[in-house]
């Protein structure tokens, strides 16, 4: 593939408007969208993952929405491999492709590539899984924050499997995962333009609270009830689901569950921004920016390439 193809990446925290912008850009450039959201892959989870609506999906072709089951293990490495295959297909038909999402590790997997990590001690993995089963994620979180604060700041903390992997790596090798994550950037056969959406913190938190209220109004509790038999799966140990499982188990009140969803989503957004701000290639815009201004910026960048 000659380097006359361009991947436009849209990054930003949850509830900032990435989906709407991705669709606007996909329609402008007559192309397709790759979702880099680590929860929208799962077909059983829709309301709590803020998937594009049926109308939005009809406006532009999306990939990696409802592509996997919660029963299927789907790693970041799997996503890197499959997304590059899908991109090659898109670039066989179009000069531009759009990738949008808030999962920094998934965006980096496609744009920078993942490093091969040394093997780890399976005994340590079993011990950490047992600790997680008995005492939950908190002791894992605390140990990881102490052992590898750089990876802790980057990792999706709603994903226990990934936090266990980071701690397992440190305990097995004595080295931090973070020291391996940015060693080498893989060459890609396409150009990359990155844009980010962000807004003042109080306004972002308002958007998040409003989105949670909408999810609940749209039937999030009913979705969670239907998934209760599968609540021990890693895919469901995540914000919006874990809190409502606690409510259904009688551990907390409904009001407390809703407050916790909002609080945990705000914390997640903060961690997303910490990750994205380290990337000096991202050109930032506010979500209320006129789409034409962003299109003009992209057209200029494409000409420059």
Give a yes or no: residue 104 inside a domain.
yes
Of 135, 163, 181, which one is at a domain's C-terminal end? 181
pLDDT for position 173: 82
Do residues 194 and 286 both lie within one domain?
Answer: yes
Contact 234, 184 (CB under 8 A): no
Give a yes or no: residue 10 inside a domain.
yes
Residue 182 has pLDDT above 70, yes or no: no
Give a yes or no: residue 161 inside a domain.
yes
Give a yes or no: residue 257 inside a domain.
yes
How many domains does the structure of the chain reveal? 2
> Dihedral (C-alpha) 82, 86, 88, 94: value to the nearest 10 degrees?
-160
pLDDT for position 138: 87
List Cα–Cα distances, 2 to 6, 92, 95, 191, in angstroms: 10, 11, 11, 10
Closest CA to 87 of 69, 70, 109: 109
List Cα–Cα distances, 146 to 104, 151, 284, in angstroms: 22, 10, 32
pLDDT band at 159 (very low <50, low <70, confident <90, very high): confident
Return the DSSP state at 66: S
Do residues 93 and 47 both lie within one domain?
Answer: yes
Distance CA 18, CA 99 (A): 10
| Tokens describing residue 104 | 């920094």
pLDDT for position 304: 81
The CATH number given to whatever domain includes residue 244 is: 3.40.50.300
pLDDT for position 181: 63
Partners of residue 96 on adjacent β-strands = 6
Per cent of the chain over pLDDT 70 is 95
Distance CA 149, CA 165 (A): 14
Please state the φ and ψ torsions of residue 72, each to the nearest 5 degrees: -100, 135
Of 139, 155, 181, which one is at a domain's C-terminal end? 181
Partners of residue 8 on adjacent β-strands = 98, 193
Q: In what order do the strands lie in the sheet with 6-11?
A: 62-63, 33-35, 96-100, 6-11, 191-197, 282-285
Do residues 152 and 268 both lie within one domain?
Answer: no
pLDDT for position 3: 63
Distance CA 239, CA 260 (A): 9
Give a yes or no: residue 29 inside a domain.
yes
Do residues 101 and 214 both lie within one domain?
Answer: yes
Do residues 200 and 292 both lie within one domain?
Answer: yes
User: Once rounded to an integer, what is the mean pLDDT over residues 166-191?
Assistant: 80
Do residues 283 and 210 both lie within one domain?
Answer: yes
Do residues 62 and 15 both lie within one domain?
Answer: yes
pLDDT band at 2 (very low <50, low <70, confident <90, very high): very low
Please state the φ and ψ torsions of residue 173, each to the nearest 5 degrees: -110, -15
* pLDDT tens, residue by residue, 47-56: 999 999 999 9
Give a yes or no: residue 1 inside a domain.
no
Q: State the residue range of the domain holding 161.
A: 122-181
pLDDT band at 1 (very low <50, low <70, confident <90, very high): very low
Residue 94 has pLDDT above 90, yes or no: yes
Do residues 26 and 75 both lie within one domain?
Answer: yes
| Tokens describing residue 223 | 């979705």
Return the DSSP state at 114: P
pLDDT for position 183: 54
Burial of residue 71 (CB within 10 Å: 0-12, 13-18, 19+) is exposed
The CATH number given to whatever domain includes residue 160 is: 1.10.20.140
The structure's pTM equals 0.82
Do residues 188 and 83 both lie within one domain?
Answer: yes
* pLDDT tens, residue by residue, 103-154: 988 999 999 987 766 677 778 888 888 888 888 888 888 899 899 888 887 7
* pLDDT tens, residue by residue, 232-287: 887 898 999 999 999 999 999 999 999 999 999 999 999 899 889 989 999 999 99
Q: What value does the mean pLDDT of the chain take?
A: 91
Q: Which residue has the higher pLDDT, 217 or 140?
A: 217
Per cent of the chain over pLDDT 90 is 65
Do residues 199 and 107 both lie within one domain?
Answer: yes
Do residues 194 and 205 both lie within one domain?
Answer: yes
Do residues 153 and 18 both lie within one domain?
Answer: no
Closest CA to 234 of 69, 86, 34: 69
């Amino acid at each position: 593939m000659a380097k006359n193809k361009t991947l436009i990446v849209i990054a930003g925290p949850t509830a900032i408007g990435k989906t709407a912008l991705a669709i606007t850009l996909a329609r402008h450039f007559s192309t397709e969208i790759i979702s880099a959201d680590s929860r929208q892959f799962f077909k059983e989870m829709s309301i709590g993952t803020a998937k594009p609506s049926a109308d939005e999906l009809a406006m532009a072709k999306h990939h990696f929405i409802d592509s996997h089951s919660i029963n299927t293990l789907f790693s970041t490495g799997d996503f890197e491999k499959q997304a590059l295959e899908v991109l090659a297909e898109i670039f066989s038909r179009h000069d531009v492709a759009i990738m949008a999402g808030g999962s920094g590790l998934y965006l980096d997997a496609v744009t920078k590539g993942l490093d091969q990590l040394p093997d780890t001690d399976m005994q340590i993995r079993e011990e950490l899984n047992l600790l997680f089963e008995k005492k939950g994620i908190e002791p894992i979180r605390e140990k990881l924050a102490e052992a590898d604060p750089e990876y802790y700041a980057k990792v999706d903390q709603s994903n226990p499997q990934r936090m266990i992997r980071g701690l397992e790596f440190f305990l097995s090798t004595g080295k931090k995962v973070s020291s391996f994550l940015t060693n080498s950037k893989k060459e890609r056969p396409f150009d990359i333009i990155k844009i980010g959406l962000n807004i003042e913190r109080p306004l972002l938190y308002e958007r998040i609270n409003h989105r949670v209220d909408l999810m609940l109004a749209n039937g999030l509790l009913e979705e969670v009830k239907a998934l209760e038999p599968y609540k021990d799966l890693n895919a469901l140990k995540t914000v919006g689901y874990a809190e409502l499982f606690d409510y259904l188990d009688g551990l907390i009140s409904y009001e407390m569950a809703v407050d916790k969803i909002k609080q945990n989503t705000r914390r997640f957004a903060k961690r997303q921004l910490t990750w994205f701000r380290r990337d000096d290639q991202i050109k930032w815009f506010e979500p209320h920016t006129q789409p034409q201004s962003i299109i003009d910026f992209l057209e200029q960048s494409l000409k420059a390439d």
